[in-house]
A and B are shown apart, each in its own frame.
Chain A
Amino acid sequence: MAMALIWTGMVTVSILCGLLTGRGPEVAAAAMEGAQAAVELCISMLGILCLWMGVMEVMRRCGLAEKLSRLLRPLLRLLYPEFREDQAVMDAVSANFSANLLGLGNAATPLGIDAVRRMSRRSPGVASDDMCTLVVCNTASIQLLPTTVASVRAAAGSAAPFDILPAVWLASLISVTVGLSAAKLMARLWRR
């Protein structure tokens, strides 16, 4: 329902604003152009997107994701102190984290849901500190190779679609660090 409100709002605002600023005809033309531009964007993104989904499938089949999740285990024990002894939860959160790093979004979500369900057994109905940490880790993008964005840049004719990688890594690292620090700080202030 939220999207229905947003979309209706966007269209209404643009027509009102267009009429007030005397750009009615431009708005009418744009309504036709937008739909066409969307299809063109999809087609020009499709190549890189499919290629990369293929590479990710190879990563999944050769067990790279599992290997990464085993490497991450010690770090994640620090992030989730309440469940560090709970094997099933640690399995789920580390698999979720490694899937997020590799950009396997479809695999990451069910793993994260499994983790949060197991965590919720200790505090039904209330988000524990570790559950908030899990959510922050999943709402801050930690994907190493942002391929969808790169394919949009390629579609727009970028000279080197992946030259933003260092900037993306830096921004992601800062974002996750700030999010986790904010969570740790708020955990002290926000008693249950």
Chain B
Amino acid sequence: MGLLFTMTVPLVMMGVALYASAKRVDVYTALVDGAGEGLGTMARIAPALVALLTAVYMLRASGALELAAGAMAPVLGWLGIPPETAPLLMVRPVSGSAALGVGAELIETYGPDSTVGRTAAVMLGSTETTFYTIAVYFGAAGIRRTRYAVPAALCADLAGFVAASWAVRLCFT
């Protein structure tokens, strides 16, 4: 099974290329055009990451992150969430680039193949920037009374964090 998941990306690449060739799409041109857009995406994320990683590194050096983790540890421990991920839980629903910055710092500090690093990665991969998404969607449609959209979406986030911690323990121990 492990090999299958490791091979997912190259297999998807091959599958897509074969399907596209069958549909007479110029695979190479599309691939290169898309990769070019990747540069633009990175150019858009980079300034936010510079600002946010600076703040995250300062927080880490000051000991504030350990304090926050310590304060939240009893609740997180009861839910089965590694307390080191506390800062990620706090920024995830608010800002996508801040979450990427905090998550990248956790992955780097604890190692990408450690339990904390993996949990942070799974949390990033299974949740979204809730408040931003709600603001964009309802803002565009002129919705003022959002009813239960925010609490329901936050339930999904909390479930995602807990499930990420459980899933990592289930898959990697």
Residues of A within 8 A of B (CB): 2-3, 6-7, 10-11, 13-18, 21, 23, 26-27, 29-31, 33-35, 37-39, 41-42, 45-46, 49-64, 109, 112-113, 116-117, 119-120, 124-127, 131-132, 134-136, 138-141, 143, 145-146, 148-150, 152-168, 170-172, 174-180, 182-183, 186-187, 189-190, 192
Contacts and interface: CB of A to CB of B under 8 A. Distances in A.
Interface of B: 1-2, 5-6, 8-9, 12-13, 16-17, 19-20, 23, 25, 27, 30-39, 41-42, 45-46, 49-64, 67, 91, 94-95, 98, 100-101, 103-105, 107-108, 111-113, 117-118, 121-130, 133-134, 136-138, 140-149, 151-153, 155-160, 163-164, 166-168, 170-172
A119 B142 CA distance: 11
Contacts, number: 361
B151 A186 contact: yes
B97 to A, nearest CB: 9
A76 B126 CA distance: 20
Contact of B16 (A41, A62, A119): A62
B112 to A, nearest CB: 4
Contact of B6 (A34, A125, A127, A160): A160
A179 B153 CA distance: 6
A108 to B, nearest CB: 10
Given A27-B58, A29-B61, A136-B153, A54 B30 contact: yes
16 contacts: A15-B58, A23-B61, A38-B50, A38-B53, A49-B41, A52-B9, A58-B27, A62-B16, A116-B140, A116-B143, A131-B137, A132-B148, A145-B12, A156-B104, A167-B118, A176-B156
**Secondary structure at chain B's binding surface: helix, strand, loop or mixed?**
helix
A164 B156 contact: no
A109 B104 contact: no
A39 B94 CA distance: 23
A167 B137 contact: no
A183 B150 CA distance: 10
Contact of B143 (A120, A171, A175): A120
Given A33-B57, A35-B54, A64-B16, A179 B45 contact: no
A82 to B, nearest CB: 14
Contacts of A125: 142-145
Contacts of A34: 50, 53-58
Contacts of A120: 141-143
A171 B108 CA distance: 22
A45 B100 CA distance: 12
Given A34-B55, A140-B153, 7 more contacts: A31-B54, A50-B38, A132-B146, A140-B127, A154-B112, A156-B108, A163-B6
